[in-house]
A and B are shown apart, each in its own frame.
Chain A
Amino acid sequence: ELKVEQNPLFLSMQEGKNYTIYCNYSTTSDRLYWYRQDPGKSLESLFVLLSNGAVKQEGRLMASLDTKARLSTLHITAAVHDLSATYFCAVDMSGGGADGLTFGKGTHLIIQP
């Protein structure tokens, strides 16, 4: 059974600080996704990581994937309040999407002024 673990599950940080969210998964996969969810809203795709060593950046967010360590990170640089949200990582085990995604429990991020 595929397990996807995120940590921390809750993070309160100040504006301007840097921090990293970790996503570990239990079985071989070379495909990992990061999503953002605002309260009461649907999921918004942030990054699609498709190979070992993949790194993608958008604004103050940067995601990376290490398939050998079965680890992905989402790094936040100089956080701003607008980044407050819940962030999910999700793993595709089937290769091609046939089985859908397995999600972590999410990291609830609060960024305070």
Chain B
Amino acid sequence: EAQVTQNPRYLITVTGKKLTVTCSQNMNHEYMSWYRQDPGLGLRQIYYSMNVEVTDKGDVPEGYKVSRKEKRNFPLILESPSPNQTSLYFCASWRGGYHYEQYFGPGTRLTVT
């Protein structure tokens, strides 16, 4: 089954404790992205990747890091989480080209206390 998976689905952590949210897709997509969703703000893109070892900042990259060492994986790293990073995070992947569709993971709800 074609899918995007994220782990963990729920995470409660404390300020300053490094964490990683994993994202994996099995569709051989070139593009992957991380979004955060906050009430009243919609989804905002954090980082995106066009292929292995190629990443770029989205609209809200501060406080986040990403890496793309394998095509299928695109982890999101919070080196020193802060309470303002409490949010719902979605990973997405897509093939690119003229007719494409983004596929979204199930989401990770992060709470930073």
Where the two chains meet, the residues of A that have a C-beta atom closer than 8 Å to any C-beta of B are: 4, 9, 33, 41-43, 45, 48, 50, 88, 90, 96-106
What chain A residues lie within 8 Å of B102 (beta carbons)? 33, 45, 97, 100-101
Task: Determine whether B44 belongs to the interface, using a CB cutoff of 8 Å to chain A.
Answer: yes
Are A103 and B44 touching (Cβ within 8 A)? yes
Chain B, interface residues (CB within 8 Å), range:
20 to 34
Are B43 and A88 touching (Cβ within 8 A)? yes
What are 30 sample pairs from A and B whose C-beta atoms fall under 8 A apart?
Answer: A4-B42, A9-B40, A33-B101, A42-B104, A42-B105, A43-B43, A45-B102, A45-B103, A48-B99, A50-B98, A88-B42, A90-B43, A96-B96, A96-B100, A97-B31, A97-B95, A97-B96, A97-B100, A99-B48, A100-B31, A100-B58, A100-B102, A101-B45, A102-B45, A103-B35, A103-B42, A103-B43, A103-B44, A105-B40, A105-B41
Where the two chains meet, the residues of B that have a C-beta atom closer than 8 Å to any C-beta of A are: 31, 33, 35, 40-45, 48, 50, 56, 58-59, 90, 92, 94-107
**What's the Cα separation between A96 and B99 when bound, in Å?**
7
Are A48 and B101 touching (Cβ within 8 A)? yes
Q: Which of A4, A45, A96, A104 contacts B98 (CB 8 A)?
A: A96
Q: Is the interface of A mostly helix, strand, loop or mixed?
A: loop
**What's the Cα separation between A33 and B58 when bound, in Å?**
19
A-B pairs, top 5 by smallest CB distance, nearest first, are A105-B42, A103-B43, A103-B42, A100-B33, A43-B104
Kindly report which residue of chain B lies nearest to residue A4, judged by CB atoms. Answer: B42
Which residue of A42, A96, A101, A102 has the most chain B CB atoms within 10 A of its CB atom? A42
